[in-house]
Amino acid sequence: MTLKNKHLGWLAMVIIILFIGSVFFNVFERNSRSIATSSSGSAQFTGTIGLPEDDFTSTKEYSLADSTTNIEVQDQYIIKTGNLSMTVKDIDETALGLENIAQMYGGAVTNRYVYSYADYKNGTIELKVDQTKFNDALKAIKELAISVESENVNADDVTETVIDIKARLENSQAEEEAYVRILNQATKIEDILNTQFYLSNVREEIEVYQAQLKYYETHTSFSTISVYLTEATSIALNSDTFQPWQTIKDSVQTVVRLFQDFVLGLIEFIIVGGAIIIPIIIIFFGGRFIYRRFKK
């Protein structure tokens, strides 16, 4: 074998090794992509459910950022709450007034609790009013009070949270539509079961987002005002019971009656005591006289 033929042999061997390595590398890469796609659980399939690959891969891929830009923010979403502590003349009348205020401003009383302790009467009333009329309702409530001890107003801006929930809801609904199309075109039982599983998960997410959105929409449409009431106590003077001359007269009569009782008691003591003491004295001195007489 000449040197030239030897070099050609080595070159052919290197080419064969590179070709075999390239084949194995392509096979390995294709299998890796297939495994990664099947385990991701997303709406992107590799054509293993019996559908043409082009039909599904043409489905639009949604992202949170894309959906957020499509949402128009017309109003801010703000949760307003208020707390008032007031002293009122009559709690029952004030409670009726609060009910009228709640209805006047598009809401209602949601909680009422009134209790009494000794001579004190207190209560807590919670009402909801239209969020746009919150300040007017607060002003009307304070007009029912004799005095306002404390006032606290809180405004929580949840606009970004609502936008985020709407974007996630839109993404999940788009994903649901994609799964429904796949389910309608699926032919294999395994593909149908897998698609139904993913579709069920997406619909659960949609229900969660819808519940969260309803919560924020309700709390931003109506504001809550909690009113803590204390009834003012008053000292009532009864003129019928204030009779000083009658009191003096009764006191003099009491003194006279006590003096009379003392005199009568003294007389009774002398008579009864004398009847007992006199015989004892006679016996004592008589016995003493007789004792001395016989002793001599």
Query: Is 94 in the same domain as 230?
Result: yes
Segment holding 149, helix H or strand E: strand 147-157
Confidence of residue 66 (pLDDT cuts 50, 70, 90): very low
Query: Is 53 in the same domain as 76?
Result: yes
d(CA 240, CA 181): 91
Check whether 151 has a pLDDT greater than 80: yes
The answer to whether position 241 is within a domain reads no
Tokens describing residue 19: 């070709």
Taking the CA atoms of the chain, what radius of gyration do you get in angstroms? 51
- Boundary residue ending a domain (182, 215, 235): 235
- Boundary residue ending a domain (197, 220, 235): 235
Query: Is 84 in the same domain as 5?
Result: no
pTM for the predicted model, two decimal places: 0.50
Average pLDDT of the chain, as a whole number = 77
The answer to whether position 281 is within a domain reads no
Number of structural domains found in the chain: 2
Query: Is 171 in the same domain as 97?
Result: yes
Check whether 57 has a pLDDT greater than 80: no
DSSP annotation of 96: H
Query: Is 105 in the same domain as 32?
Result: no
Query: Is 84 in the same domain as 231?
Result: yes
Maximum separation of any 2 CA atoms in the chain, in Å: 188
d(CA 42, CA 8): 52
Query: Is 101 in the same domain as 3?
Result: no
- Domain residue limits at 75: 42-235
Query: Is 100 in the same domain as 223?
Result: yes
How many CA atoms lie less than 13 Å away from 15 in the CB half-sphere? 6
d(CA 271, CA 262): 14
Query: Is 20 in the same domain as 138?
Result: no
The answer to whether position 251 is within a domain reads no
Query: Is 14 in the same domain as 158?
Result: no
Q: What is the pLDDT of residues 69-122, one digit of tens each?
A: 444 445 689 999 999 999 999 999 999 999 999 999 999 999 999 888 777 889
Query: Is 207 in the same domain as 67?
Result: yes
Q: What is the pLDDT of residues 124-150, one digit of tens each?
A: 999 999 999 999 999 999 999 999 999
